[in-house]
Amino acid sequence: MRKIRTFVFYLFSMEIIKIHDKSFEPYIDAAQIQQIIQRMTSEVARDMEDTTPVFVSVLNGAFMFASDFVRNYKADCEITFVKLSSYEGMHSTEKVRELIGLDISVEGRDVVVLEDIIDTGNTLEEIYRIFHNKGVKSLRIATLFFKPDAYKKNLKIDYVGMPIPNRFIVGYGLDYDELGRNLPHVYQLNTSLTMTNLVLFGKPGAGKGTQATFLKEKYNLVHISTGDLFRYNIKNETPLGKLAQSYMDKGDLVPDEVTIQMLQQEIDSNPDAKGFIFDGFPRTIAQAEALDAFLTSKGIKIHGTLALEADDEILIQRLVERGKVSGRTDDQDESKIRNRFVEYNQKTAPLIEFYKKQGKYHAINGIGSIEEITNRLSEAIENLEK
């Protein structure tokens, strides 16, 4: 029989719990949960004033929520429990199993489905499909937690207890690989202990792209290059790609908010990433502040900025030699290269002070073999404060 192994320790005066191989930090305490439920029951009771609703609790996750919900519901009601799940471990399988356990007739009844959490909406889609064929008078959905960033469907959710970021949570009925349901509070996955998020700086020719490839493989990180993001979105004619192209067609610079939205989508599409390398972004203080704000909303942060430093004359020679092979005209004209360095100094160099004030700036000697520079970067990364 598998035993729960939950360890409690303290980090920066916060209680952290460990279940299996994951650490979780406090997110919503029991008192807050009860306040949310009291508000939700009042909203439902107002809408159900002239009827006796049937509450349908979706097991296993919603059993604690349903229990407290009915306890707080002051008017007449009925409740039944059904089984309909799509989660294994920390990931939605996106394969919803058939509903089991609906042993009462709901034909002509006002039904309120009680869900613990709605993220992608796959389970919700199946719920709508099933009850559409049950002849119910009305169908409403009440969920304790909702992840708008993960939601992929265009289906109505009538009552939302609390919108939350797209981070894994456990406790109060929610589990991690079947453990943690009995916790009275809700905890969220503590990515600050496991993630490594880096900003890679360097003038043209400093070798950012080469080093980002090595670091991505070594530390299992997601490499986010703004150049790649633009090319992908424009090539695939996404809404953001079309918007960016419209500015480019007019000869205008693409606004920061468009670039940031592309980056946000890339981060949201990699919720299980062990970390990110940001290459080519941020380029300005405003972009750095926007990146910090977005990452903070996700409960994560930049751990270090690594700047590959090299003498301008050496970099110019590198670019000229590269231009002979690549055919890139901007790498063959020395005056154009120097202009790119001037632009870098004007726009990007102020970020040095921004990150120095945060204690996150690390200058790396960018002269030497690829392996030597990779080793210097690795040493800096492994000594970063988490």
Per the annotation, the verdict on 2 as an active-site residue is no
Over residues 256-284, the mean pLDDT reads 87
Q: In this structure, are 134 and 211 located in the same domain?
A: no
With cut-offs at 50, 70 and 90, classify the pLDDT of residue 99.
low
For helices 239-249 and 226-235, give the axis angle rounded to 10 degrees: 100
Q: Which of 97, 324, 328, 336 is catalytic?
A: 328
Is 221's pLDDT higher than 70? yes
Q: In this structure, are 210 and 178 located in the same domain?
A: no
**Residue numbers belonging to the annotated binding site for ATP:** 205-210, 322, 368
DSSP alpha helix (H) spans, 250-284: 256-268
- The pLDDT tens digits of the residues spanning 179-188 come to 999 999 999 8
**Residue numbers belonging to the annotated binding site:** 205-210, 226, 231, 252-254, 280-283, 287, 322, 328, 340, 368
Q: In angstroms, how far apart are the furthest CA atoms of the chain?
A: 81
Q: In this structure, are 251 and 136 located in the same domain?
A: no
Among 144, 167, 189, residue at a domain's last position: 189
Q: How many domains does the chain have?
A: 2
Q: Which of 22, 208, 318, 360 is catalytic?
A: 208
Per the annotation, the verdict on 283 as an active-site residue is yes
- The pLDDT tens digits of the residues spanning 348-386 come to 778 989 999 999 999 999 888 889 999 999 999 988 876
Q: In this structure, are 185 and 220 located in the same domain?
A: no
What's the mean per-residue pLDDT of the chain? 85
Kind plus residue range of the DSSP H or E element containing 381 = helix 370-382
* Structural domain includes residue 3: no
Q: In this structure, are 205 and 110 located in the same domain?
A: no
Q: Are strands 87-88 and 78-83 parallel, antiparallel or unpaired?
A: unpaired
Q: In this structure, are 267 and 153 located in the same domain?
A: no
Q: State what percent of residues in the chain have pLDDT above 70.
A: 89
Residues in the chain: 386
Per the annotation, the verdict on 318 as an active-site residue is no
Provide the residue range defining the domain that includes 293: 197-385
**Residue numbers belonging to the annotated binding site for AMP:** 226, 231, 252-254, 280-283, 287, 328, 340
Is 127's pLDDT higher than 80? yes
- The pLDDT tens digits of the residues spanning 192-217 come to 666 889 999 888 888 888 899 999 99
Q: Which of 283, 298, 301, 347 is catalytic?
A: 283
Among 189, 215, 242, residue at a domain's last position: 189
* Structural domain includes residue 147: yes
Q: In this structure, are 179 and 243 located in the same domain?
A: no
User: Please, what is the end-to-end C-alpha distance for the chain in angstroms?
Assistant: 35
Q: In this structure, are 168 and 301 located in the same domain?
A: no
Q: Which residues contact 140 (CB under 8 A, 6 or more apart)?
A: 44, 47, 110, 111, 112, 113, 158, 159
Over residues 14-43, the mean pLDDT reads 89
Q: In this structure, are 77 and 213 located in the same domain?
A: no
Per the annotation, the verdict on 167 as an active-site residue is no
Task: Tell me the two tokens of residue 205.
Answer: 């020719």
* Structural domain includes residue 285: yes
CA dihedral of 214, 219, 363, 346, whole degrees rounded to 10: 70
The conformation of residue 237, written as its DSSP 8-state character, comes to T
Q: In this structure, are 274 and 143 located in the same domain?
A: no
Identity of residue 87: Y
* Structural domain includes residue 79: yes
Among 167, 189, 211, residue at a domain's last position: 189
Q: Which of 18, 134, 322, 347 is catalytic?
A: 322
Of 39-48, 81-90, 243-252, 296-305, which range is least confident?
81-90
